[in-house]
A and B are shown apart, each in its own frame.
Chain A
Amino acid sequence: MGSTSSTLLKIPNVEVLMQETGFSPAHMIRLHDRFKLRCLFPQDFGAIKELAMNPIGDRIIGAFFCPGKETVDFHTFVKILAHFRPVDKNRPKEPNSPEPINSRSNKLRFAFQLYDQDKDGKISRDELLKVLQAMLGMQVTEEQLESIADRTIQEADLDRDDAISFEEFRKVSPEILHSRCFIKV
């Protein structure tokens, strides 16, 4: 279809992007349409009303914006969404190729970065508390939250530094997660 290829050409660096993320041309076009040819501000995300209903919606929005940047460009947008592309099992495993964006490890890293707001590579007790609080209803009292947070850290924390590093986070995440963790773009 002529229109497809011409639309595709309008997207800058589309070949590189497709290579990196593994999206097909049809996906790229759809995403581009959604992205609406402009950089997204936080406000645009805010306009998606369902995100306001999402307990960690704001953190997710924040994940799209690199620190210091006020806008999201298409490149970043697609790369983040690529985390949740369905896993293609038939992908040849080249020894030197970088890990695909939608690998389990990268998905976990994405989630880890949502928890770890100060980007120090560890989820501290406070950060965990914040996340739990975001995800738990208001009926939960402070002490209960604390006990959950304590116990969560206890389960995961192997080196006893009272924080969860990415390695520990990865170990403790159940395997089930990976196979169902995708969206249809």
Chain B
Amino acid sequence: QMTTKHQYQWHIIICLLFLVCELNHSVTSVFPESSLLIMLGFILGGIVWGADKAQTFKLIPTNFFYYLLPQIILDASYCMPNKLFFSNLGAILIHAIIGTCWNAGTVGIALWACYEGGAMGNLNIGPLQFLLFGALISAVDPVAVIAVFEEVHVNEVLYILVFGESLLNDGVTVVLYNVFDAFVSLGGPKINAAEIIKGIVSFFVVAFGGSFLGVVFAILISMLTRITKNVQVIEAGFIIVLGYLSYLTAEMLSLSAILSITFCGVCCQKYINANMDEKSVTTLRYTLKVMANGSETMIFVFLGVSAIDKNIWVWNTGFILLTIFFVVIFRFIGVFFLNWILNQSRLIPIDITDQFVMAYGGLRGAVAYGLAALLDEKKIPEKNLMLGTTLIVVYFTVILQGITMKPLVQWLKVKKATHSDLTLNGKMNNRAFEHILTAMEDICGRMGDNWWTRHWNYFEDKYVCWLLLKSDARKHKDPIFGAFHKLNLEDATKYVTEGERKGSLDFIRNYDSASVDFKKKLALEYGDITPYITGIDNVPVTSVMKNPIPSVSLDIHEQDRKSLPDKLSAHHLLDQHLYKSRRDNRPTYSRSHYNTSENPDEMQEIFQRTMRSRLESFKSAKMGVNPAKKLSKHPKKDSTHKPNGKPADPHRTHPYGDEDFEFSADSASSSEIAGHFHRRSTNTPGAGVDNPAFIPEMDTSPPMRNPPWQTETGNNTAVAPSQRAQGRLPWTSTNLRHLALLRMSTRSTDSFVMADASLDEEAPEEKPGTHHTRL
């Protein structure tokens, strides 16, 4: 008699065997891991069966639902790409809810029809039981989907649609299962409209209640990570425990536990990643992965083991074959139909090949088996038949469809996940296109997709982040900063490996910011060991390894010199300094509306530049190009604003005659900007005053510049002097940043002003002030 201990020992041996197989890629490239595991499970089951003549080592539903499933879901939802998920949420929900109901209903009814038609011989079964069976077999299983799709790298949208559906359909499955289970208990005649309505209501309660509970736990977790600074070592533990708690709580309240833990993971990931230290984040990620992988392995092995059990094999060819047939057919019909409906309103329609893979990827797995095992034999005499059939369907989908998935995807030329290594050109172009698209949207005046995301981001900014993020996390919310930081770390590692490969680390350019810091730090540490620290022009060589080789002097060629740090610094610079566009926000956090409190400096800079160039183009258009003058620029922006009031220097004037522009003066539209652009006092006819924007000590004046539309129409014509920026030097590489002071002229009665002033008068009538309204 094999004791439980021995059984578990065998189980662990099987898992180790599996790991060995993992290392051999030729095997795993053909067979997905899941199918291998199931087969190993067969072997293990055979061993146990051989020892005990009875299958004592089964997958008990309780174990499955409480100890094996939650961590897989938590891991999946924590690593879920939120952007994609929420932007495709509509499609996912439609597939999850309507698709699952469709599958359940059609499979149940079709099987019943065939039974009535005599295809299955004699069974002690009724239509309600068929429906119940249909409900439990209809659920696409997240575990199986993860297992199969992770080998095949399909494009992200397809993956998220299938995977999202598999996660969210739990709400429906649980409800359908419970409802039909209750109906079976009640018996046929007692079912009336009231019961059906109760069923529908229970769906809403279960699904939304579960999700809501998940969100509550997500909030709890995020708030918890705000204060766990001193116990970083066990932060990851807290999160796992709380995640599991959300699962159990939902289970206890008869809500959808999978939905609860899914939304918990999905909603908290951003905030806990921001709040926690990097090491904790890494710990959490890896812990979850280990637990999830372990559970997945065990689940599949158990699925294999459970097959070797004489009791469950009530063989009914008709039932089994028809089930498989209907499951597949109705899945395909359902998917194609729903996608056709969705494509009517989707911006990016789903390809036919993608749809095919979606339908083919409707894998059933352990959840179906667990639900079947939970059936009550007294109520449902044919439980074993159903259990056996469920297992066969699971094997069919996981093994057969799993193995054929990869070749199918290749044959259909499904678009794969894109992992492009962005070049500088690519980065620049991407950003340029974002700006272009933002501009086009503004010109068209449409909110488009951005409406929801803008409002959510606004809401999130104001309330959510205050509640859930630590104060210093709030400052660094920008994902670009996070990406930049990651890039820096990667590059630093590359730098070290590259240097060590060449025999030593060399400092290449002093004024390369990356290496400057590096050098400073190392210079301190190894100051006494480094005999060669040369100047800028030579190739400086310093050995910085722990066992220094002082006499190594590497002659790095020009090309090598340029390649690595150039690449690093160029990428850094682009990442760090490219202006963000409003579009840079899809549903995840980023700046969306230009609430200038977010990045006032950037907005000011852009605005100034635009105004300056517009002025210049007007000037040059009307007056001919003026003699070039030099401007100086203060590199840093002081973020303190001068309070409302007059500029300190009464002679200070503004470089562009804002008042001369005939841009409309919609004062109502600029509440957002109001906070940062104060009313300026009237211009004084200063004489030859330096351009205040470009003088260091006056750098508080830029915030005071009013956007032209904020000044009232009346003032424009009243202000006499026009201050004109003289033409600017063309920006050649030599004097890009070293521009000297600008001389201002005070001639106020130039034709430019006159022309503008006259146009200005017409302006208010012409423009009915719709610029700021969206159509």
Contact = CB atoms under 8 A, between A and B. Distances in A.
Contacts of A43: 661-663, 759, 763
A75 to B, nearest CB: 15
Interface string B398-420: 00000000000000000000101
Contacts of A181: 433, 437
Contacts of B570: 147-148, 151-152
Interface in A148-185: 148-152, 155-156, 169, 172-177, 179, 181-185
A80 B444 CA distance: 11
A183 B771 contact: no
Contacts of A137: 577-579, 601-602, 605
B420 A144 contact: no
B635 A155 contact: no
A138 B637 contact: yes
A145 interface: yes
A124 to B, nearest CB: 11
Interface string A88-111: 011000000000000000010011
Contact of A135 (B424, B578, B607, B759): B578
Contacts of A86: 347-348
8 contacts: A34-B443, A53-B603, A54-B435, A60-B436, A137-B602, A176-B418, A183-B444, A184-B446
Interface in B588-642: 594, 601-603, 605-607, 609-611, 613-614, 617, 633, 635-637
A129 B636 CA distance: 21
Contacts of B633: 138
Given A54-B439, A169-B425, 19 more contacts: A34-B445, A46-B661, A46-B663, A50-B594, A52-B611, A55-B579, A55-B609, A60-B439, A86-B348, A111-B433, A126-B731, A135-B428, A136-B574, A139-B635, A151-B566, A155-B423, A155-B424, A176-B420, A183-B437
Interface in A35-84: 36, 43-58, 60, 81, 84
A57 B612 CA distance: 13
Interface string B663-678: 1101001100100000
- Report the interface size class on chain A: 35 or more
Contacts of B636: 139
Contact of B444 (A34, A47, A144): A34
A11 interface: no
A175 B736 contact: no
A57 B607 CA distance: 10
Interface in B501-520: 511
Contacts of B577: 136-137, 139-140
B662 to A, nearest CB: 6
B578 A114 contact: no
A49 B772 contact: yes
Interface in B717-772: 731-738, 759, 763, 767, 770-772
Contact of B436 (A56, A90, A144): A56
A144 B734 CA distance: 12
B444 A81 contact: yes
A114 B435 CA distance: 12
A59 to B, nearest CB: 9
B458 interface: no
A177 B736 contact: no
Contacts of A47: 663-664, 666, 709, 767, 771
B736 A151 contact: no
Interface string A121-141: 000011001111111111111
B351 interface: yes
Interface in B338-362: 347-349, 351
Contacts of A152: 424-425, 428, 570
Contacts of A183: 437, 440-441, 444, 446, 448
Contact of B707 (A52, A145, A149): A52
B591 to A, nearest CB: 11
Contacts of B603: 53
A120 interface: no
Given A58-B610, A60-B439, A135-B431, A140 B707 contact: no
Contacts of B613: 58
Nearest to A184: B448
Contact of A155 (B425, B432, B443, B664): B425
A37 B669 CA distance: 22
Given A138-B637, A148-B424, A55 B772 contact: no
A142 interface: yes
A113 B300 CA distance: 57
Pick from B448, B573, B617, B661 the residue with the most CB of A within 10 Å.
B573
B438 A50 contact: yes
Contacts of B439: 50-51, 54, 56-57, 60
B607 A53 contact: yes
Interface string B109-151: 0000000000000000000000000000000000000000000
Which of A49, A126, A179 lies at the interface centre, i.e. has the most chain B CB atoms within 10 A of its CB? A49
Contacts of A148: 424, 570, 573-574
A45 B663 CA distance: 9
A1 B402 CA distance: 52
B175 to A, nearest CB: 35
A14 B636 CA distance: 51
B569 interface: yes
Contact of A36 (B348, B635, B770): B770
B442 interface: yes
B414 to A, nearest CB: 14
A177 B427 CA distance: 10
Contact of B731 (A50, A110, A133, A144): A133
Contact of A136 (B348, B423, B578, B664): B578
A49 B775 contact: no
A146 interface: yes
Contacts of B422: 174
A161 B351 CA distance: 41
Nearest to B605: A138
